[in-house]
């Protein structure tokens, strides 16, 4: 099984743009969260995540977060992802009505998978 090729946007004319594997489409929550974000800032975030992930694309083990999907009503567990097109992976089945419950679930997932906080190897 071969790994997907990392693609770069057409017409960037040498601009430093992070690549993307473009293999996993955005789910509905991710589409909503990504809507209207500044592409240059998302690219800057992707560069930081790529570095944090030891210069590898893909989900970052141990890097879970909670994102508010409906202000003061709904929070979702997510995982940071070193990919320009999808800098975070929102788990549609991990949506909660309190931030505390979402944080507990994020910690539970991290513990269950035996992952620690990401550390950059030098």
Question: Which pTM value belongs to this model?
Answer: 0.79
Q: What is the pLDDT of residue 63?
A: 94
Count CA within 13 A, CB hemisphere, residue 115: 17
Q: What is the pLDDT of residue 62?
A: 93
Per residue in 90-113, pLDDT (tens digit) is 999 999 999 999 999 999 999 999
Per residue in 59-82, pLDDT (tens digit) is 999 999 999 999 999 999 999 999
Q: What is the pLDDT of residue 120?
A: 60
Give strand ranges (E) for 1-122: 58-70, 74-82, 88-96
Residue 56, strand partner residues: none
């Amino acid at each position: 099984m071969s790994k997907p090729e990392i693609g770069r946007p057409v017409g960037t004319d040498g601009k430093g743009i992070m690549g993307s594997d473009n293999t996993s489409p955005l789910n509905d929550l991710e589409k909503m969260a990504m809507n209207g974000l500044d592409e240059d800032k998302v690219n800057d975030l992707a560069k930081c995540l790529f570095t944090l992930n030891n210069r590898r694309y893909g989900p970052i083990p141990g890097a879970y977060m909670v994102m508010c999907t409906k202000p003061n009503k709904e929070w979702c567990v997510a995982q940071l992802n070193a990919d320009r097109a999808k800098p975070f992976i929102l788990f549609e089945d991990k949506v909660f009505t309190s931030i505390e419950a979402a944080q507990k679930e994020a910690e539970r997932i991290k513990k269950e998978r035996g992952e620690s906080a990401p550390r950059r190897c030098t």
